[in-house]
Structure 1
Amino acid sequence: MSIRRNIAFGWLLALLVIALFTRLGFWQLGRMHQKQAMLDAVHAVLHDRRPQPLAVAADPQRGTAYAWSAGAGRFAALPAILLDNQGRGDRAGVRAYRVFQPVSGMPLLVELGWLPLPGDRRLPEVPLPATTHVAGLLLPPPSAGIVDVPAVAQPDGTLLAIALDLPMLRHALRLPALAPRVLKLDPAQRLAPGPAYARDLDILPNTLPPERHLGYAVQWFGLALAVLATALVLTFRKPARTQGARTPRTHA
C-alpha cells in the first residue's frame, strides 16, 4: 500500500510540474504571435507610408495602433526626457524624447533618437530642435511593465526615466494633456541643432523577438515531455533485487 501511495504522490507532483511547464510554453507561444502581429502591422504601415495628421495621436480609440504621421508645429520649451537602460549593440545608452506641439491637436512625445552613455554615465545634452515639421511612426509608448518609478529631474531640468509612463510625465511636465501615442522620427529626418542621434523604426528595442519566444516555448514543452518520460520510467521499471539476498533453503 505504501508503494502505491508513493507512486500516486509522485504522479501528482509530476502532473503539476508538467502543467506548469506546458502553461509557460503556451504563454511563450502567445507572446510570439502577439509580437509577430505587431511586426506585421508595422511592416504594412511602413510599406504604404500614407501620412496621417499628428492629431490622430490623441485618438484614445487607436492608442495601440500604428500609423505613419506627419505635420507642422514646434518643439515645446520643456525639459527633455531620457529613457534609461536602452542598449544598442553592446553599448549602453538612452533614448531622447521631446514634447512636440502640432499646429492643431494635442502635444505628443517625439523620440529624437538614441544616444550613448560614457563610462561615468554622464547624461548627454538634448538641445531643443528648431525643426517645425516632423514625420515618423506613431506607436504606443514602450511598455512600463510592473515598474512604477517616477522620472527623476536632473540639475538642468532633464527628466531621467526608466519607463515612459505618460500620465506621470504629463504631471511632471505640467501639461494639461499628452497624446497616448509617441512618434518615432523618420531616420532620414535631420534635426538642428542637436547631436548625431542614432535612429531606427524598431518597435521591439531591448525586448525578445518572436523567434526567441518560439525557442523558449520549445524548451518549456521539451521539459514537460522530459518530466513525463521520467515519471513513466520510474513507474514501470522493475524493482531491483536487493544485493546479497539469499534464496531460502528448504529442509527435507
Structure 2
Amino acid sequence: MRLILPLIFGLGGAALLVALGLWQLQRLDWKEGMIADMASRIGAPPIALPRDPDPSADNFVPVSLNGRVDGRPLRVLGAWREGGAGFRIIAPVETEDGRRVMVDLGIVPLDNVDREAEVALTEDSLEITGNLNWPDDLNPGTPDPDGEIWFARDVNSMAETLGTERVMIVARNVVPEAGPVPVPVGLEGIPNNHLGYAIQWFGLALVWLGMTVFLLWRIRRRTI
C-alpha cells in the first residue's frame, strides 16, 4: 500500500506532463499551418481591391490600386519591430473609382515627421501595391488618441475619424514615393515557441518519473 499511492501519483503526474507536451505539438502543427497560409496569401499576385473585403477571409491578401491622398493623415506613434521608433502614416486615399480607404504608407523617423507628412499629402495620383490588413495593435494600456497622433492602428476608429471604409492596405510599394518608407506585411514577430514548450513538458515528465522511481526506491528500502 505504501508503494501504490506514490506510484499512482507519480504516473498520473507524468501522464499529465506528457499530455501537455502533446498539446504543444498539436499547437505547433496548427501554428505552422497558419504561418504557411499567411505566407501563401502575402506572396500571391496582387488583385484589384475587393468590393466588400472580409477581415477574416481577406486578411493579408495582396491588392493594387490607384488613388490620391484625400485628407490629412493620422500618425501612429510606436516602436515598430519592422522599422524602429517613429510614426506610421495612415492616409485616407480616394481611389479612381471613388472609394475611400486607409493606406498605411509606412514609417517616418520622429525627427522628420512634419516634412514627411507634407510629402504624403501630395496631389499626385499614387500607384499603391500592398496587403489588406486589420492589425491588432490595441492592448488594455493603449492611450487614447491625442489629436492626429494615435498609439495603435485601430481600423474601426480610424475609419470613422478619416471618413473611410473600414479597410486598411499596408503599402508594399508606392509610385511615386509618398515620403514614408513602406513596411510591408510580413511574418516577422509571429511567435512560434511551441516546440520548445513541448520539449520542456516532456523533460519535466522524465524528471517526474525519475523522482517517482527514487521515492519508491526509498520507501522500499525502509520497509526491508
State TM-score, norm by structure 1. Answer: 0.69
Q: Which residue type is aligned with residue 81 of structure 1?
A: R
Q: Following the alignment from structure 1 to structure 2, what is the Cα–Cα distance between the partners of residues 9 and 241? A: 14
* Equivalence for 1:230: 207
Matches for 1:1-80 after TM superposition, within 5 Å: 1-45=1-45, 49=46, 51-52=47-48, 54=49, 56=50, 58-60=52-54, 62-64=57-59, 66-72=61-67, 74-80=68-74
How many residues in Structure 1 have an aligned counterpart in Structure 2? Answer: 217
* Equivalence for 1:250: none
Q: Residue 92 of structure 2: which of 87, 96, 99 is its match?
A: 99
Q: Following the alignment from structure 1 to structure 2, what is the Cα–Cα distance between the partners of residues 204 and 241? A: 53
Matches for 1:73-152 after TM superposition, within 5 Å: 74-82=68-76, 84-88=78-82, 91-117=84-110, 124-125=113-114, 126-127=117-118, 128-144=121-137, 147=140, 149=142, 151-152=144-145
Q: Is the 8 A contact 1:152 1:160 kept in 2?
A: yes
What is the CA deviation profile of residues 58-102 of structure 1, one whole-angstrom value per residue up to 9, with x for unaligned ones? 433853251331223x3122442325231346x323322111111
Q: Following the alignment from structure 1 to structure 2, what is the Cα–Cα distance between the partners of residues 145 and 24? A: 27
User: More strand by proportion, 1 or 2?
Assistant: 2
Q: Following the alignment from structure 1 to structure 2, what is the Cα–Cα distance between the partners of residues 58 and 105? A: 14
Measured after TM superposition, the shift of residue 57 of structure 1 is: 5.7
Matches for 1:192-207 after TM superposition, within 5 Å: 194=179, 197-205=180-188, 207=189
Q: Following the alignment from structure 2 to structure 1, what is the Cα–Cα distance between the partners of residues 95 and 212? A: 70
Q: Which residue type is aligned with residue 78 of structure 2?
A: D
CA distance 1:80–1:145, shift in 2 (3 Å): closer
Could you list the runs of 5+ residues in structure 2 that have no partner in the other structure?
none
Q: Is the 8 A contact 1:98 1:110 kept in 2?
A: yes
Measured after TM superposition, the shift of residue 149 of structure 1 is: 4.2
Q: Following the alignment from structure 1 to structure 2, what is the Cα–Cα distance between the partners of residues 84 and 38? A: 24
- CA root-mean-square deviation: 3.3
Measured after TM superposition, the shift of residue 34 of structure 1 is: 0.6
Q: Which residue type is aligned with residue 80 of structure 2?
A: Q
What is the CA deviation profile of residues 189-234 of structure 1, one whole-angstrom value per residue up to 9, with x for unaligned ones? 2335x4xx222433335x23xxx62xx2221221222123223323
Q: Following the alignment from structure 2 to structure 1, what is the Cα–Cα distance between the partners of residues 212 and 79? A: 49
Q: Which residue type is aligned with residue 14 of structure 1?
A: A
Q: Which residue type is aligned with residue 185 of structure 2?
A: D
Could you list the runs of 5+ residues in structure 1 that have no partner in the other structure?
248-252
* Equivalence for 1:165: 154
- Secondary structure class of the residue paired with 1:138: strand
What is the CA deviation profile of residues 1-39 of structure 1, one whole-angstrom value per residue up to 9, with x for unaligned ones? 344223323333333333334323432432222122111
State TM-score, norm by structure 2. Answer: 0.76
Q: Is the 8 A contact 1:100 1:108 kept in 2?
A: yes
Q: Is the 8 A contact 1:57 1:179 kept in 2?
A: no
